[in-house]
Amino acid sequence: MKFCFELIKKEANTQARLGLLRTLHGVVKTPVFMPVGTQATVKSLTPEDLKDIAVEIILANTYHLYLRPGAEIIRELSGLHRFMNWDLPLLTDSGGFQIYSLGELSKVSEGGLTFKSPFDGSEHFLSPEEVMKIQENLGADIIMTLDECTSYPATYDHTLNSLELTTRWAGRCKQVKSREDQALFGIIQGGMFPELRRKSAEQIVGIGFDGYGIGGLSVGETKSMMWEMVECTLPFLPEEQPRYLMGLGKPEDLVEAISRGIDMFDCVLPTRNARNGSLFTSEGKVVIKNSNYARDRGPLDPNCNCYTCRNYTRAYLRHLFLAQEILSARLNTIHNLYYYINLIDQVREAIEENRLLQFQKEFREARKA
């Protein structure tokens, strides 16, 4: 089945949208939050756990899977879906951001990215063509072009050169893509310069992709700068194709981004915070190690119906966390991901009923309480 995106509805009072991503491995309702399964696993959870939470699509990372166990091994074992026992849609990112994060261990050239493995120090080179080959071997439903994530802060000239390199890489990725059952998304860069965001969007859309990622944000800029860059990019993206704001993860930011017309998100925040004992609830953030929960018989969130909240007390969750038990990460991750998936469900319902502005107001007030 060839990938397609169906735009179902636009909310009356905002730019929010409802849509469907149709892939070989199933249909995904948008807006959607994609849990991050960096190394072919969402840490501490099984695929069955994810389905119980109603996760429809997850993200895996090309860079990490290239380093271990290797894309060729995954291909020989019938692809990433079979390898990780996940039969619903998958998205793989290109690894550009992860290599950018290596700092001095990486080097950018016209040909691609050279970097040293953080595991054994071995040197590697990934070109746009090689990144496409790796992602085709992995077999995700949605794959991403290789891009250069511009550092922050950066000069105008550096940002311009970076986005033009990203454009050339995007063209090379599209040229060598061979699998018809995979969707290829291009990535918009341009740093914190509105005119460069527009230039990047026009260039990437001009090449033509199945969807578009907005990259290079949430890298240290202020919140107002981030929203300005989103606002100056969206008008130049096709309305009939999905829009993916990469790496955005705070609940209030997801709601705000959806109201501006974003369809897809991913972030490690809910799973990483869960392992660190920082939990999202309808009543605000809970830091479960705090002593005031030592004798708390109540559920983590009285308004939550996840497995953790139905079965365990705050006192027990605190005990598990302080004892560094493996079950702590599992129960906390189940809850945090349920919170995110349920939040997006509520947002979709508000869009359907043309009351997203009211939902936003009530959501902000609840988080301030």
* Residues assigned a catalytic role: 93, 266
Cα gap 196→164, rounded to integer Å: 10
Q: Can you tell me whether residue 5 is helix, strand or coil?
A: strand
Cα gap 255→250, rounded to integer Å: 9
Contact 66, 57 (CB under 8 A): no
Written as six digits, the tokens of 235 are 């008008």
Written as six digits, the tokens of 346 are 């509520």
Written as six digits, the tokens of 84 are 């990780």
Written as six digits, the tokens of 151 are 């550092």
Residue in the block written with tokens 């990437």: 204
Q: What dihedral angle (degrees, nearest 10) is formed by the CA atoms of 187, 224, 97, 39? A: -100
Query: What angle is formed at CA 127 by the lines to CA 95 and CA 4, rounded to 5 degrees?
Result: 60
Alpha helices in 177-245 (DSSP H): 194-207, 223-233
Of 288, 241, 296, 245, nearest to 266 (Cα)?
245
Cα gap 364→212, rounded to integer Å: 29
N- to C-terminal Cα separation, the chain:
47
Cα gap 338→321, rounded to integer Å: 19
Radius of gyration over every alpha carbon of the chain, rounded to an integer in angstroms: 20
